[in-house]
Structure 1
Amino acid sequence: MDLIDEPSPGQNTPEYSVSEISGAVKKALEGAFGRVRVRGEIGRVVQARSGHLYYDVKDDRNVLNCTTWKGQAARLSVRPEEGMEVIVTGKLSAFGPQSRYNLNVDEMTVAGEGALLAMLEKRKAALKAEGLFDPARKRPIPFLPNVIGVITSPSGAVIRDILHRLRDRFPRHVLIWPVAVQGKACAPEVARAIAGFNALGPLDPIPRPDLLIVARGGGAIEDLWGFNEEAVARAAAASQIPLISAVGHETDTTLIDFVSDKRAPTPTAAAEMAVPVRMELLAWVEEQDARLKRSVLSAVRQRQQRLGDVSRGLGTPAALIQGAQQRFDQWDGRLPKALTAAVARKQLQLTERAGALKPSLLGRPIAADLRRVQDRAERLRPAMQRINQMKAQRLSDVGQRLRLEVLQRDTAQKARDLDVMLKRLQGVGVRRLRQAQDRLAGLERLRESLGPNETLARGYAIVRGDGAVVTNAKAAKAAQSLEVEFSDGRVALGEAVTTAKAKRRSSTPKPDQGSLFD
């Protein structure tokens, strides 16, 4: 009798390949969990050269491997950093080649306000170490900018407050760059707006602003987080145009406040910092004009008084020449006696020296010299008399020129010159004031000609969809009703839009064209 081999235990269990097991595990994980949200602390972070992100999310006992692909990483609102406490959202899956399961993350938020503040302090310390907060690099705000660029949401109350404040203080030409002021799109749009305004040149149809204002209303730290992003802070620091940050209320502080050239506690305060009060400026100009006139009149009066004092100090012409005439008479009476004494003294000296010489050797030269001296002595007196007469005539001529009538005529001429100078200075002051007033009037006319009403009068129109301003075709197609504003009124296009949509549903749809800010 043959023995039949009984099957050993486990021989009826089906066999699987390694790939089949891995696929089954992956399918079970994805089917059981699907899309999940996980809270934890980020561990190591590795960014591959391909742009993919690999990092760990851990708690006090376990570690979960996470992956974010390159296309997903660009849409993350928060970049993962080691030690950050976050909430990640994604799909749980498995990686068969390494027998590991991981979470594919496509959304990440910071867990709690404390974690946000810790990350903010870390970024602040890094930017401060680079010198971006240094007061020496901050530019002064222009006194009266011609063009002001405002970066904010076009539909909020912030832009209305800024425009209203500028209109009350000193109307200026305002360029608005619409951006999102919270959410994922906030930081990249604000950074692009700052760089876009700085990229404008003299040949562009849009004028380059002289001042930028980045504004947003108050909110929680999560709402203002877009202005704490490093991209926004670096764009503000790189701006060549002076920049005022007006994000949140007075107690709210963001990174852009530290790198901007000026921080305003509110958007309204930013408008007040941007321009002076027009009426105060006009009053200051009038005050300066009045001070100029008073100073000119005072200077003229001082010079008139000084001229009068000098003319009184000169005295009469006769008194001026009396002392000189007296000295001349004294010298004229003493001169003949002095000449006679000098001649006698010379003759005595000559006789004494002649006696000491031999007559045979010096007789003839001495006799000739003696005759020459006597001849010159006889000619000296008439010559001195002629000189005295010439001096007297010259002194008389000087006395004639110093007559009171001549001095009075010169004084009158100087007074006339001062009057002419005063009139010229007054004319210059009035002309400069008129030029300043004309320039202000020209700027006012330019503002009016570039305003919305004048733009509508030139043939342009404002399109509103569902009550909001529409700036691109995509928004116009999505609107339930359209309204077109002209210079003389508004026209509703609601029925036309409904009919057009019905026709489009029956036809092949065409791809939308991107707007300027897509």
Structure 2
Amino acid sequence: MTEAVSNASEYSVSEISMALKRTVEDAFGYVRVRGEISGYRGPHSSGHAYFALKDDRAKLEAVIWKGNFGKLRFRPEEGMEVIATGKLTTFPGSSKYQIVIESLEPAGIGALMALLEERRKKLAAEGLFDSARKRPIPYLPRVIGVVTSPTGAVIRDILHRLADRFPVHVLVWPVRVQGETSAAEVAAAIAGFNALPEGGKIPRPDVLIVARGGGSLEDLWGFNEEIVVRAAAASDIPLISAVGHETDTTLIDFASDLRAPTPTGAAEMAVPVRSELLATTGDLDRRLAGAMARHVEARRRELRAAVRALPRLDDLLAIPRRSFDELAARIGRALSANTLAHRGRLERTAGRLSTASLDRLMTRAGDRLTALSDRQGRALEVHAERKRAVFARISGRLRIEPLSERVARGRDRLGQADERGARAFIRVTERLRDRLDRAWRLAETLSYRSVLARGFALVTDAEGRTVRAAATVTSGDALTIEFQDGKIGAVAAGGAAEPKPKKAPKAKPPTQESLF
């Protein structure tokens, strides 16, 4: 059987692969493909990103080279619907085709909003938006740090508003507020301000303002990046976000300590109005002066009313003066009564003393001393005899002649001590007798009987108590009157007569005659 011969050209595998590659690249040199990102795991270690775009019926491999990945306006995320712009090509090594993406954008505003909401929920779950983390803005900051573009109208509006309200020191950290590097620069600026030391060459701001003018959602997207939100939440310096117009909302607004509707509004929130502060201070000063004047006047009126309510000096001293006069009138009688009371006590004590009792005491004391002296002499003799017998026995055993001489000397010293003891006893007895004689003479001198001998009498009641004042006697009381030569009984006929008021005599020092 004869084989059929074909005139078709033969290709090698490499040739057909390259022909397909040229055909695909020529036919699809520039395409826009809409699809959902699948299999995205972030950039490779080489810096390239590999993933796939898919819809409900097909899947297209995709790659973003390192140079284009850094220029993207936002980062790809798994499940995000995007529109990729680039060219189709093949990969001969595995007979695959893929799209090389040059630019990437979300598939419409709805996709961006969905991404924004998903990111907001994620960061909120981490606690970055909690109100408890937010710090109060200083009322009057000395230094304000502004993170914004140095060439836009935003920085001019902020500086103009600060100059009008309250001029302060302003530090501007220039950044790009739009584009691929915007988020990284804003985050670095916030961290840089926080890294400034206290008291350094560059003053550390008391408050930060992150500002940008209005724009589309894509233009403001840099302020929705996680790196910016985390930097704002980690800032130790209170931060005011002023991104876009009042209707624009970015994620940095939730992480900041205070959100301003506009950059100008942020400047107004950062400082008060100096003229208003001066006016308020002046008004408070006037109110304080008025309040102090009214307070002083009210206290003055109260003092005058209190002075009018006080009594006169004579009225205040009337009662103490009268009390003093009464006490001055009573002091003389009180001294006399006190003297009489002490005299009576001494007389009663002296009455219990007698020479006979003292003689008996002296006799008993002398007998005791004599007995003790006799006993002492006998005891000494007995003691000496015992010692002498002991010494004799010892000397007999030892046969020492000088021992007897020592005993004789001891006996002599013992006799001398006995004589000294007798003389000392006599001296002590004489001193005691002298003291007793002096006490007896003093008792006789102070005895009330000597007073009775001068014509006075001692009055006692039925219980034997001394009657010192007529005011204590009532009609019918039984009394005893003691004279020098005896006592008589008496009955009180009436009460004490009231003494006539007399002018208090001028107090004089008591004399011996007035006391008796």
Return the offset for 1:207: 4.5
2:133 is the alignment partner of 1:145: no
Larger Cα-atom Rg: 2
- Please point out which of 285, 291, 313 is paired with 2:287: 291
> How many residues get paired?
374
Q: Which residue of 2 aligns with 1:19?
A: 14
Q: Which residue of 2 aligns with 1:424?
A: none
Residue type matched to 1:60 in 2?
D
CA distance in structure 1 between the partners assigned to 2:324 and 2:40 by the alignment: 112
CA distance in structure 2 between the partners assigned to 1:16 and 1:329 by the alignment: 152
Return the offset for 1:158: 3.5
The answer on whether the counterparts of 2:347 and 2:443 sit within 8 Å (CA) in structure 1 is no
Q: Which runs of 5+ in 1 are unaligned?
A: 378-383, 388-518
CA deviations 1:162-203 (Å, max 9, x no partner) are: 334333322334444444433334323333333344444578
Please give the secondary structure, in 1, of the residue aligned with 2:180: coil
1:318–1:49 Cα change, 3 Å? same
Q: Which residue of 2 aligns with 1:450?
A: none
Counterparts of residues 260-275 of structure 1 (less than 5 Å): 260-275=256-271
Please give the secondary structure, in 2, of the residue aligned with 1:292: helix
Residue type matched to 1:17 in 2?
S
Q: Which residue of 2 aligns with 1:103?
A: 99
- Please point out which of 115, 120, 124 is paired with 2:120: 124
CA distance in structure 2 between the partners assigned to 1:307 and 1:371 by the alignment: 67
Counterparts of residues 502-513 of structure 1 (less than 5 Å): none
Q: Which runs of 5+ in 2 are unaligned?
A: 359-435, 452-506, 511-516
The answer on whether the counterparts of 2:25 and 2:89 sit within 8 Å (CA) in structure 1 is yes
The answer on whether the counterparts of 2:74 and 2:221 sit within 8 Å (CA) in structure 1 is no
Return the offset for 1:126: 1.9
The answer on whether the counterparts of 2:143 and 2:207 sit within 8 Å (CA) in structure 1 is yes
Please give the secondary structure, in 2, of the residue aligned with 1:97: coil
1:323–1:19 Cα change, 3 Å? same
CA distance in structure 2 between the partners assigned to 1:33 and 1:41 by the alignment: 20
- Please point out which of 36, 41, 62 is paired with 1:41: 36
CA distance in structure 1 between the partners assigned to 2:179 and 2:297 by the alignment: 71
Q: Which residue of 1 aligns with 2:23?
A: 28
CA distance in structure 1 between the partners assigned to 2:339 and 2:264 by the alignment: 105
- Please point out which of 323, 330, 333 is paired with 2:319: 323
Residue type matched to 1:34 in 2?
G
CA distance in structure 1 between the partners assigned to 2:306 and 2:443 by the alignment: 58
- Give TM-score, length-normalised by structure 1: 0.64
Residue type matched to 1:336 in 2?
G
The answer on whether the counterparts of 2:347 and 2:446 sit within 8 Å (CA) in structure 1 is no
Residue type matched to 1:35 in 2?
Y
Q: Which residue of 2 aligns with 1:165?
A: 161
Moved more, 353-362 or 178-187: 353-362
Return the offset for 1:68: 1.8
CA distance in structure 1 between the partners assigned to 2:156 and 2:85 by the alignment: 38
Please give the secondary structure, in 1, of the residue aligned with 2:78: coil
Return the offset for 1:312: 5.0
Counterparts of residues 253-402 of structure 1 (less than 5 Å): 253-305=249-301, 308=304, 312=308, 316-352=312-348, 354-355=350-351, 359-361=355-357, 365=439, 368-369=442-443, 371=445, 385-386=508-509
- Please point out which of 239, 245, 249 is paired with 2:241: 245
Please give the secondary structure, in 2, of the residue aligned with 1:93: strand
Residue type matched to 1:294 in 2?
G
Counterparts of residues 222-237 of structure 1 (less than 5 Å): 222-237=218-233
CA distance in structure 1 between the partners assigned to 2:162 and 2:299 by the alignment: 47
Residue type matched to 2:330 in 1?
R
* Identical residues among aligned pairs (%): 55
1:269–1:347 Cα change, 3 Å? same
CA distance in structure 1 between the partners assigned to 2:298 and 2:446 by the alignment: 66
CA distance in structure 2 between the partners assigned to 1:373 and 1:289 by the alignment: 88
Q: Which residue of 1 aligns with 2:423?
A: none
CA deviations 1:19-75 (Å, max 9, x no partner) are: 333323222222221232111111111233333221111000111111123332222
CA RMSD, 1 decimal: 3.2
CA distance in structure 1 between the partners assigned to 2:5 and 2:336 by the alignment: 172
CA distance in structure 1 between the partners assigned to 2:12 and 2:338 by the alignment: 153
Please give the secondary structure, in 1, of the residue aligned with 2:280: helix
2:150 is the alignment partner of 1:76: no
1:285–1:19 Cα change, 3 Å? same
- Please point out which of 48, 52, 66 is paired with 1:52: 48
1:58–1:321 Cα change, 3 Å? same
Return the offset for 1:8: 3.6
CA distance in structure 2 between the partners assigned to 1:56 and 1:373 by the alignment: 140
CA deviations 1:238-274 (Å, max 9, x no partner) are: 3333221112232321101001111012222212112
1:135–1:334 Cα change, 3 Å? same
1:371–1:50 Cα change, 3 Å? farther
Return the offset for 1:317: 4.5
2:132 is the alignment partner of 1:136: yes
Please give the secondary structure, in 2, of the residue aligned with 1:142: coil
Q: Which residue of 1 aligns with 2:498?
A: none
CA deviations 1:418-457 (Å, max 9, x no partner) are: xxxxxxxxxxxxxxxxxxxxxxxxxxxxxxxxxxxxxxxx
CA deviations 1:193-236 (Å, max 9, x no partner) are: 33344444578775543332222333332232221111221222
Moved more, 199-208 or 225-234: 199-208
Residue type matched to 1:24 in 2?
A
Q: Which residue of 2 aligns with 1:510?
A: none
1:373–1:80 Cα change, 3 Å? farther
Return the offset for 1:156: 4.3
CA distance in structure 2 between the partners assigned to 1:204 and 1:322 by the alignment: 78
CA distance in structure 1 between the partners assigned to 2:34 and 2:273 by the alignment: 53
1:172–1:354 Cα change, 3 Å? closer
CA distance in structure 2 between the partners assigned to 1:371 and 1:28 by the alignment: 161
Residue type matched to 2:34 in 1?
R
- Give TM-score, length-normalised by structure 2: 0.64
Counterparts of residues 411-426 of structure 1 (less than 5 Å): none
Please give the secondary structure, in 1, of the residue aligned with 2:93: helix
Residue type matched to 2:46 in 1?
S
Counterparts of residues 213-224 of structure 1 (less than 5 Å): 213-224=209-220
Residue type matched to 1:40 in 2?
G
Please give the secondary structure, in 2, of the residue aligned with 1:81: coil
Return the offset for 1:145: 2.6
